[in-house]
Structure 1
Amino acid sequence: MATIKDVLAAALAHHQAGRLAQAAAGYQAVLDTLPDHADALHLLGVVYLQAGHPPEAEPRIRAALRADATVADYHDNLGSALRALDRTAEAAEAHRAAIRLRPAFAQAHYNLGNALDRLGQLEEAADAYRQAAALRPGYARARFNLGNTLTALGRLGEADDAFRAALADDPEFGEAHANRASLMLQRGRAAEAERALRRALALRPDHATALANLSAALLALDAPADAERAARRAEFARPDFAEAALRRGDARQRRNRLAEAACAYARAAALCPDLAEAYANLALVRQTQGELDAAEAGYRRALALRPDLAEVRSNLAYLELFRPGVTLARVLEAHRGWDAVHGAPLRSEWAPRSPAVRHDARPLRVGILSGDFRRHPAGQFAVRAVEALPDFGVELTLYANQMEADDLTDRFRAAAARWVPVADRTDAELATLIRNDRLDALIDLAGHNARGRLGVFARKPAPVQVAWSGYMATTGLAAMDALVADAHHVPEGAERFYSERILRMPGAFIAYDPPPDAPEPGPPPCLTGQPVTFGVFNILTKLTDEVLSTWAALLVRVPESRLLLKTKALSCPKTAAQWRERLATAGIAPERLILAGATASREHMGWCARVDVALDPFPFAGSTTTLETLWMGVPVVTLPGETFSSRHSLAFLSVAGVEGCVARDPADYVDRAAGWAADPARLAELRRTLRPRMAAGPLCDGRRLAEALVKSLRDLTQGA
């Protein structure tokens, strides 16, 4: 005849083998004879818990504790049952009771970490996971959860160490490979992320999250076609996975397939209506396609779901610059709105002001933070002045928020005393690094644009902070002390609409570095027997209904003339078709249109040479596009307003000495453009003379700009 001990041992064997029904029957047989048998009560509760029935588990484990409250395992498993019942605070107390009874109980520390993590007590959760890992060598799961918690805390370097330790314990831990890859993506280390994701997928080929993240890694490595394939595989593995649709949209956007990207983002939003990123990315596509109202609605929807999305709020502020009738007051209000939400909470981290810097006492320690030390408008506007800064007593540190490099990157690096890659650092980590470098001044080249790090500047790690070249408005930040401008962009009397002190440079606020492979200007096309061609090279976001109607009036004024519209977004066939319809509605017939998409730099400059007269949009004027067309000897007709972003062409034309291009109103705009088109001799003279004038003048004079900038920085630091 079997004893109670024999029945319990047989039930435990079933339990350990995963035969839960047989185990439960055995434990119940013991309890039928001895209703207060503590081990049988506890183990029957564990069976119910493992079978997914925590309401049945809790009373049995509590009964075990009434029979014997000195067993740590009983308390720990009660905590697991309570956590499954969403009674997390009670669960944490149960795990603590287990630890009090057995301080070296690694599993109880681990389970306590899980409860604290769910309660949002992340620092305490991290401590619990560390205790668990220290008590049990090889406890990969504890190190894995520690990595996840440290990631949530923004301590990415420590998180990486934890994931690496988990993988050292268990190299086949697929989730650890996948989560470490997500971390690498956050830190801008796409190549490492790709390797980790491929390892995770080798272990589990249908891991939808890993496939979606592989798409993101490949996008960062500039392989959008491969990225799209990975996203498709993720969707196939899990058709309901919104993240996969989101990544497919990213890939299509990078390949300039904007309409298809919009469909993918819309699908992601439909699958997961609370996914703020889907609405934000869809809004960015709409903005790129020139649909301002749809873009604004998407950004606001994303912020309603996630008010902490600083980049989305930056996009919303930036969108204000494109609105017809925009005023400096509205621009300031929109940008101060960003600072109120994302900047104000960080003011406790501001560094105390350092002693004033005396003139000529020592080199001025200046840092520049940018993701565009490369062939990018911000880089092309800054490189010549940056190269000259050391000649005027500046010790230069460049904080590179980028992974790629090109010929301009090499020039920036050569100018710097220190080159510091920072793409993998959080805003808090980077602010600490910069604060420890004890700069006199820190310069921003991005503002609210892509790769901007306003979360760093909002912490004010340097006593003097200056915005320059990469953003075309006030930043709105209380932490930003000054804005580099000129008398054309910020005329006297406009200072009150900027949160920064205005530093007016002589000439222009930038020094243009033209593409080295630009072809020589030839004669205007209208002198070679072709119809007059008006050209536009600006993004679609700038092309408002008033702009289109003005251009339509110009084409009526100049019969047989054509309009060339070239911009990256028109590489998308569906977007190009939509714009043909929109232009036709505005009165511009399709047969008078030439549409072109993205090309390489030299080819693009050749396209600039195909036009007789360039047309500037309003209220957001061209900047790089204006300089490129001027470099090819082409006049740019512009209609400036009061905002910084509306006055680029005015400034560049004025500094370059090109007259007859600045209009007072749309009617005058048409008159001036038509006047240029009717004067081929004047067009030919400009083509012959403008490039050498620009090259020798202040518009390309980096040394002159650097000298003025250093003087302004020294004046600022003296008053710091």
Structure 2
Amino acid sequence: MNNPSRNDPCPCGSGRKFKHCCQGKQVSTAPLAGVAVADLLRRATAAYQAGQVSAAEQACHQILQKQPRQTDALILWAAIHIQMGNFVVAQQAADKALQYRYPHPAAAEEIIGRAWWGMGQPDKALVSFRKAIRLDASRIECHFNIGGIGLLKGDLETAESSFRYVVASLPQHADAWTSLGVVLRQQGRLQESMQLFQQIVDRFPAHMAALHELAKVAQLKGDMRVTEQAYRLALAKNPDDDVALSSLLFAQNYRQDLTPLEKYEAAKQWGQHLSDRVHLRTGKAYKQWKVEENPSRLRVGLVSGDLRRHPVGYFLENVLPHLEQDQVEVIAYTTYNVEDALTLLLKQHVVVWKSLVGLSDREASALIHDDGIHVLIDLAGHSRHNRLALFACRPAPLQVSWLGYFATTGLPEMDYVLVDRHVAPESEAGLFTEKRYLLPDTYRCFKVPDEDIAVNVLPALTLGRITLGCFNNLSKLNVSVLSLWVRILESLPEARLLLKSSQLNALDEREAFYSYLQSLGMDTARVELQGSSSYEDYLKAFHQVDMALDPFPYTGGTVSIEGLWMGVPVLTLSGHDMLSHSGENLLCNLGLQDWMASSTEDYVASAVKHAQDWTALAQLRATLRSRCEHSALMDGPRFAGHWQAALWQLWHTRQKQVDMLKMSDGPGLSSVS
């Protein structure tokens, strides 16, 4: 095998061509012990360049046995182990190379940075990357990684400048262009971001990440046509793209032109397709498990990428602390390695916390199977960071969907979905491939906010006019919703409308949305648009609102209960599936059925009626917080008791079925101690 050619990428990892980097430089500070070592080094380098990692590792190992201080071999050894995911080994090898005076310290520092990042230590990685560019400012991948850490930590200014440096230096760096688009999206510069992603897709048609990001930003802008086109193009390029197909199903929840049955059929088709493909790729699903058939307490696994400041995290915060530890033990499997203060709190209420990030579906399912889980719960459905594919491997004997999604997963291996009678009535049982289990009262439980913010008096009494509000994601505000709101404002000449959303952070986004509202006939002089704010200021913003308007069919959840907590009632349109019933779940538990409209005409009439009765609004505002506190919606201990009782009942039902199969000498499904 030969050395890298002049135009090959340099093996030191700089991102530059060999001829512009290490060609002609001293290869090691330790003299080679004859031709054999030199040949091994050439073979190891060539194998690494060809992607033959195992062969490269073997050759490198032989070199280091002969010459432990051979710095080129140490750096190559480190690079090999970065690729293998052995980050500690990589970091130690690169450190040794520096101790032995490796002549390219910037390359060594870059590898150390990559190792630290791989070990989940972004702050230490940042130190190494910055050392590297102080030694050699032209190391492109260091700038790219600094941008990535900035993006991870929310330092968008650093991220943007780093990615712009990379694309200016290396215009063909598709990942840097895509990351720059992500930064623009997170800065609220949605139109810029969308235009950039469209350019990236045209310029780098094989770059799948750009297609996914284009779909995401289009969804944020409410352009579901572009969103679906992007995901369908991704699927045309790669039919096995689980994320694109799952995201497409999620995006279709925003559409009014699809019936609940059509959405169900699409999910069912996807679920069977995924199940078949996973079994083809990884083998058949488990049929035996390492669990006790008659346990004294259930081992319950939670699979989620939202164990943090996210609605799922907030809901769990009022459930996990109230579980009886002698009845259930909870094991958390995170699918997204971003943590915050809420993550640390949740960790206190689980017995084990494991990351599935970087594991294949078979590896992740084997890990869960070996943990002896009785009940495995999916908390994502088709939302981001889901790992539905591992459920197709059936690593647990009982698998349940709950909380993080609002429709069927469509997966045949998902046994149950935890719901309530308000969001999944008997008449809609056919919209789930899973069996429904109806929790009493509510399928979710909210925690009282830590922020001590009092409910104010009805703003209309001070301002002399009514203020309607909606703080939901703008993507939910489709033409039908906004057209009804136009009619409501026309019927209430003095009323104002306040919309608050992160999509309105940038001035150009607010101006574009004002133009959109005008095109629908809305008097924008009566509309105020606000961007995102701190959570405390977000709650205080409800002080400006007399009553809230719920969008449809994608109704509010967390936003609605936060408004109710702040004394703001919400008018919702009764729906025809779990997604559109969300508001009903809240209002029925608070005894506010008169805030549930039966049709679009009733929605307009009810909005006008409630908005004109300031006395009733003021009285309701004064009592809503107490209603919330004393309802099942915020009774953590009560809900936790129902939740763990449900899991036990499901387990006992399963065991009865297993016993019946054994008695009939059927093949059955079994547990092994």
Question: Does the alignment reach a TM-score above 0.5?
Answer: yes
Q: 2:643 aligns with which of 702, 709, 713?
A: 709
Partner of 2:256: 324
CA, structure 1 residues 46+107, in 2 after alignment: closer, same or farther (shift >3 Å)? Answer: closer
State the percentage of identical aligned residues.
30
Partner of 1:441: 375
CA offsets 1:75-106 (integer angstroms, 9 cap, x no match) = xxxxxxxxxxxxxxxxxxxxxxxxxxx99962
CA, structure 1 residues 194+270, in 2 after alignment: closer, same or farther (shift >3 Å)? Answer: farther
CA, structure 1 residues 649+237, in 2 after alignment: closer, same or farther (shift >3 Å)? Answer: same
8 A contact 1:163–1:176 mirrored in 2: no
8 A contact 1:106–1:133 mirrored in 2: no
Question: Residue 507 of structure 1 aligns to a residue in which SS?
Answer: coil
Partner of 1:562: 496
Structure with the greater relative contact order (CA < 8 A, sep ≥ 6): 1 or 2? 2
Partner of 1:198: 130
TM-score, with normalisation over the residues of structure 1?
0.78
Question: Residue 390 of structure 1 aligns to a residue in which SS?
Answer: coil
Partner of 2:288: 353
Partner of 1:168: 96
What is the deviation of 1:708? Answer: 2.1
CA, structure 1 residues 182+689, in 2 after alignment: closer, same or farther (shift >3 Å)? Answer: same
Distance 1:267 1:137 in 2: 49
Name the one with the larger helix percent.
1
Whether 2:617 is the aligned partner of 1:670: answer no
Q: 1:591 aligns with which of 525, 541, 549?
A: 525
Partner of 1:231: 163
Aligned-CA RMSD value? 3.3
Distance 1:453 1:464 in 2: 16
Q: What count of residue pairs does the alignment treat as equivalent?
A: 621
8 A contact 2:41–2:60 mirrored in 1: no
Distance 1:455 1:606 in 2: 41
What is the deviation of 1:400? Answer: 4.2
Q: 2:300 aligns with which of 363, 366, 369?
A: 366
Question: Residue 534 of structure 1 aligns to a residue in which SS?
Answer: strand
Whether 2:187 is the aligned partner of 1:255: answer yes
Letter matched to residue 596 of structure 2 = V
Question: Residue 206 of structure 1 aligns to a residue in which SS?
Answer: coil
Question: Residue 379 of structure 1 aligns to a residue in which SS?
Answer: helix
Whether 2:311 is the aligned partner of 1:377: answer yes
What is the deviation of 1:369? Answer: 2.8
Question: Residue 348 of structure 2 aligns to a residue in which SS?
Answer: helix
What is the deviation of 1:516? Answer: 1.8
Q: 2:150 aligns with which of 198, 204, 218?
A: 218
Whether 2:224 is the aligned partner of 1:292: answer yes
Q: 2:468 aligns with which of 534, 545, 566?
A: 534
Distance 1:477 1:356 in 2: 23
CA offsets 1:276-330 (integer angstroms, 9 cap, x no match) = 2112212211111111111111222333334454333322111011001333333
TM-score, with normalisation over the residues of structure 2?
0.83
Which range moved further: 314-323 or 409-418?
A: 409-418
CA offsets 1:259-290 (integer angstroms, 9 cap, x no match) = 23224333433442321211221221111111
What is the deviation of 1:140? Answer: 6.2
Which range moved further: 304-313 or 495-504?
A: 304-313
Question: Residue 490 of structure 1 aligns to a residue in which SS?
Answer: coil
Distance 2:198 2:92 in 1: 36
What is the deviation of 1:690? Answer: 1.6
Which range moved further: 366-375 or 225-234?
A: 366-375
Partner of 1:679: 613
8 A contact 1:242–1:269 mirrored in 2: no
CA, structure 1 residues 677+46, in 2 after alignment: closer, same or farther (shift >3 Å)? Answer: closer
CA, structure 1 residues 128+342, in 2 after alignment: closer, same or farther (shift >3 Å)? Answer: farther
What is the deviation of 1:561? Answer: 0.9
Q: 1:642 aligns with which of 576, 593, 604?
A: 576
What is the deviation of 1:628? Answer: 1.0
CA, structure 1 residues 178+472, in 2 after alignment: closer, same or farther (shift >3 Å)? Answer: farther
Letter matched to residue 510 of structure 1 = R
Q: 1:113 aligns with which of 39, 43, 47?
A: 47
8 A contact 2:415–2:434 mirrored in 1: yes
Which range moved further: 393-402 or 243-252?
A: 393-402
Distance 2:56 2:277 in 1: 25
CA, structure 1 residues 542+134, in 2 after alignment: closer, same or farther (shift >3 Å)? Answer: farther
8 A contact 1:363–1:394 mirrored in 2: yes
8 A contact 1:397–1:416 mirrored in 2: yes
Partner of 2:174: 242
What is the deviation of 1:164? Answer: 4.6
Whether 2:405 is the aligned partner of 1:471: answer yes
What is the deviation of 1:555? Answer: 0.7
Distance 1:575 1:351 in 2: 50
CA offsets 1:155-188 (integer angstroms, 9 cap, x no match) = 52x3663465355346646556546655765775
What is the deviation of 1:504? Answer: 1.2
Structure 2 residue runs without a partner (length 5+): 9-35, 656-673
Question: Residue 647 of structure 1 aligns to a residue in which SS?
Answer: helix
CA, structure 1 residues 694+675, in 2 after alignment: closer, same or farther (shift >3 Å)? Answer: same
CA offsets 1:380-399 (integer angstroms, 9 cap, x no match) = 22221221123561122233
Question: Residue 559 of structure 1 aligns to a residue in which SS?
Answer: coil
CA offsets 1:530-579 (integer angstroms, 9 cap, x no match) = 32111111111111111111111111111121111111110022221111
Whether 2:349 is the aligned partner of 1:415: answer yes
Distance 2:631 2:258 in 1: 32
8 A contact 2:146–2:159 mirrored in 1: yes
Distance 1:112 1:238 in 2: 25
Structure 1 residue runs without a partner (length 5+): 1-44, 54-101
Larger radius of gyration: 1
8 A contact 1:130–1:143 mirrored in 2: no
What is the deviation of 1:204? Answer: 3.0
8 A contact 1:276–1:302 mirrored in 2: yes
CA offsets 1:425-452 (integer angstroms, 9 cap, x no match) = 5655543332222121222222322333
Which range moved further: 345-354 or 379-388?
A: 345-354
Distance 1:133 1:341 in 2: 48
Which range moved further: 266-275 or 501-510?
A: 266-275
What is the deviation of 1:135? Answer: 6.6
Partner of 2:435: 501
Letter matched to residue 288 of structure 2 = R
8 A contact 1:187–1:426 mirrored in 2: no
8 A contact 2:77–2:93 mirrored in 1: no
Question: Residue 202 of structure 1 aligns to a residue in which SS?
Answer: helix
Letter matched to residue 289 of structure 2 = S
What is the deviation of 1:337? Answer: 5.0
8 A contact 2:319–2:636 mirrored in 1: yes
What is the deviation of 1:507? Answer: 0.9
CA, structure 1 residues 280+422, in 2 after alignment: closer, same or farther (shift >3 Å)? Answer: closer
What is the deviation of 1:670? Answer: 0.3
Question: Residue 89 of structure 2 aligns to a residue in which SS?
Answer: helix
Partner of 1:553: 487
